[in-house]
Amino acid sequence: FSGGVDWRSRLDTQRGAVLATELKNNSCKLAKWTVSALLAGSDQIKFGYVSRQHARDTAKHVLLGTQQFKPVEFANQINLNMDNAWGILRCIVDTCMKLKEGKYLIMKDPNKPVVRIYDIPDHTFDTDEEDDDDDDEDDSDDDDDDDDDDDDDDEPEK
């Protein structure tokens, strides 16, 4: 069920109603995929309707059907205006340019048509690999500073 619609049984006969329900429930995702297709210059965008084989089995799925559109035509169907999309991007960039230097997280609120910008600590989301690279850089700087006392490297400092 998606939004109260059993689309497994309705997909063949009422594909438009199923798509309309998904547009209502997942409009941001569909718009994002459509914009990606438009920016990539794709001739077609294809959506697949997938369902779990068994409700409790998260690993096995069944492809129930697909639907394909021309990205420009689909954008018109969902009232996606690229001028508006560029305007939103410009607003986000302008807002970010006014922020002090740092690391930020841009997140869409899942329940509202709102995008929030969070100030996060500089090392948030750093991977171990990035940390190792930083350590290597720090070690090379330390080596340059310790050249004058190489004789004492084997002895513990008192």
pLDDT tens-digit series, residues 86-117: 999 999 999 999 999 999 999 988 888 889 99
* Separation between Cα atoms, residue 69 and residue 45, nearest integer Å: 5
**Helices (DSSP H) in 82-127: which residue ranges?**
82-97
Q: Which secondary structure element, helix H or strand E, spans residue 43, and what is its range? A: none
150 pLDDT higher than 50: no
Cβ distance 98 to 109 under 8 Å? no
Among the listed residues 42, 49, 93, the one whose alpha carbon sits nearest the alpha carbon of residue 70: 42
Write down the pTM of the prediction: 0.66
Given this model, what pLDDT does residue 136 score? 52
Condensed to tens digits (0 to 9), the pLDDT of residues 18-47 reads 888 889 888 889 999 999 999 999 999 999
Produce one character per residue of 95-108: b if its CB has 16 or more CB atoms within 10 Å, e if not: eeeeeeeeeeeeee
Q: In the beta sheet, which residues pair with residue 61? A: 52
- Cβ neighbors of 47 (< 8 A, separation 6 or more) are 19, 30, 66, 67, 68, 69
- Could you tell me if residue 152 is left (phi over 0), alpha (psi between -120 and 50 degrees) or otherwise beta? alpha
Given this model, what pLDDT does residue 146 score? 46
Given this model, what pLDDT does residue 145 score? 47
Question: In this structure, how many other beta carbons lie within 10 angstroms of the beta carbon of residue 74?
Answer: 22
Select the more confidently predicted residue: 156 or 57: 57
